[in-house]
Amino acid sequence: MEQPLRKNTGNNLPFSLTTAEELLAIYGSPLYVYQLDRLSATIKHITNSIAYPGTQLHFASVTNGNVALLQIFKNHGWGIHGNTPGDIYLALAAGFTPDRIVYSGSNLDRDEMRQLLKWNIQAINLDSLSQLQLLVDIYSEEYAKPRLGLRLNFPSLTGASRIGVDPDQFATATDIARQAGLTITGIHFYRGTGTNATQAFIDAIEPILAIASQLPDWGDLDFGGGFGYPYHHDKAAFDWAEFGEILSTRLAKLDRQIQLTIEPGRAAIAGSAVLLARVVSTKWQDQKQLLGIDTTVANLSVPAVHGGYRDIVSWQTSDQLFTTDVCGNTTYSRDYLGRNCQLPRLEIDDIIAILDVGAYGYAMSSHFLHRPRPAEVLLDHHGSHRLIRQREDYSILLNHQIFEEH
């Protein structure tokens, strides 16, 4: 969690101190705050970057399942990409119709696979021959005929992965699908999570098209997700305009019209949210400032997903910055929300903002060490705001437990 030395000029603050104080006074601390203007601008930028006719953009809701936020993507004409039946359940609750939902998951049991068909999900990408066989065994004419695709496992493009089908298995997969009168038309490519290297996706275009052409009835290309977000703001970001232009130009040269699907997740929503927290304790170890705050690392995604780094800023201004560890409100030895940050001297009740928590923030938060989870608020273009998820209290810790009361 090393953070670069820079003066706390306020240029990277998400909104005014007055707004931060108002939000915490109304909704309490800690608090997830989503900025509608930032989210909408990112959605529009990605949308406008892909010019290929008929492109479908589907938000990867594994990164954030708040229904109010999913509805924003719906209002912008996006669909939903689901990794699990739970993703689909939330999408349907948000008002997405089944034809606007793509499933690309793994290891469903029989009941879950049947539920996919009952929901009439019309685009299903499967990651193994056995999952394909399971669907074929369950499928009947009472269900809508799904558009089937195969998740690709090709280590030189996808990296070593447990997920996907080798191109050598395409013929066998085609035969399995035909047992039920179904056709495999799609290829699903996933580059890997959090990739900011635009060239890595561009370099994959030609090999992916060559592999897809081996599928006898190929007509759908799902170029997947894995598009990154620059949590270190001084480092390279994914270039959507360059990627979109090159991909669209290349697809236009094919001898057939392909249905293109793109599934941004982290890239679409990470930068739209901050986690506000208050300082509840301060102490010093030599020249290092240790700030205790009223939230915990359990309210953010695990370091394995994002590398453990977030910019942390405060509204206090000073020409003197101190090396600072930002510590959570548990005794877990790794409960650091930031280490070696450069922050001014802060006092109890001062507010800090942990930036870029829109993806894998609340979605991966937990009750580890039995802390209830924060509320979520949507801040709109004009400064008004509304609650989109209630704050939990301690009673949540007893949900579904069965015990004798004394």
Full 3-state SS string of 32-58: EEEEHHHHHHHHHHHHHHCCCCCCEEE
Q: Is residue 78 part of a domain?
A: no
Question: Do 227 and 287 belong to one domain?
Answer: no
For 163: left if phi > 0, alpha if psi spans -120 to 50, otherwise beta; the answer is: beta
Question: Do 212 and 275 belong to one domain?
Answer: no
Domain ends where: 223, 242, 264? 264
Residue closest to 29 by CA, chosen among 325, 295, 392, 389: 295
Q: Is residue 311 part of a domain?
A: yes
Residue closest to 23 by CA, chosen among 221, 315, 264: 315
Maximal C-alpha separation, the chain: 74
Question: Do 110 and 217 belong to one domain?
Answer: yes
Question: What range does the domain containing 374 cover?
Answer: 17-34+270-398
End-to-end CA distance of the chain: 45
**How many CA atoms lie less than 13 Å away from 48 in the CB half-sphere?**
6
Which backbone phi and psi does 302 adopt, to 5 degrees? -70, 145
Residue 307's pLDDT is: 58
Identify the segments of the chain with pLDDT beneath 70.
1-11, 301-308
Question: Do 27 and 145 belong to one domain?
Answer: no
Q: Is residue 53 part of a domain?
A: no
Residue 303's pLDDT is: 58
Contact predicate 379/19, CB 8 Å? yes
Q: Is residue 46 part of a domain?
A: no
Q: Kindly report, residue by residue over 258-274, the tens digit of the pLDDT.
A: 999 999 999 999 999 99
Sign of the torsion angle spanned by Cα atoms 34, 35, 37, 38? negative
Contact predicate 372/352, CB 8 Å? no
Map 221-243 to HEC letters. EECCCCECCCCCCCCCCCCHHHH
Q: pTM for the whole thing?
A: 0.94
Query: Alpha-carbon distance 199 to 384, whole Å?
Result: 40
Specify the 3-state DSSP secondary structure of 266.
helix
Residue 305's pLDDT is: 54
Residue 155's pLDDT is: 77
How many domains, in total, are found in the chain? 2
Q: How would you classify the pairing of strands 101-104 and 220-222?
A: unpaired
Question: Do 224 and 325 belong to one domain?
Answer: no
Q: Is residue 389 part of a domain?
A: yes
Residue 11's pLDDT is: 59
- Tokens 């309490």 locate to 28
Q: Kindly report, residue by residue over 279-336, the tens digit of the pLDDT.
A: 999 999 999 999 999 999 888 865 555 556 889 999 998 989 999 999 999 998 889 9
Query: Alpha-carbon distance 45 to 204, whole Å?
Result: 22
Which backbone phi and psi does 340 adopt, to 5 degrees? 55, 35
Which backbone phi and psi does 126 adopt, to 5 degrees? -110, 150
- What six digits make up the tokens of 341? 């940050």
Question: Do 238 and 276 belong to one domain?
Answer: no
Contact predicate 220/147, CB 8 Å? yes
Residue closest to 362 by CA, chosen among 349, 376, 348: 376
Q: Is residue 235 part of a domain?
A: yes
Question: Do 115 and 242 belong to one domain?
Answer: yes
CA distances from 380 to 38, 69, 76 (A): 9, 12, 15
Domain ends where: 231, 264, 297? 264
Domain ends where: 211, 238, 264? 264
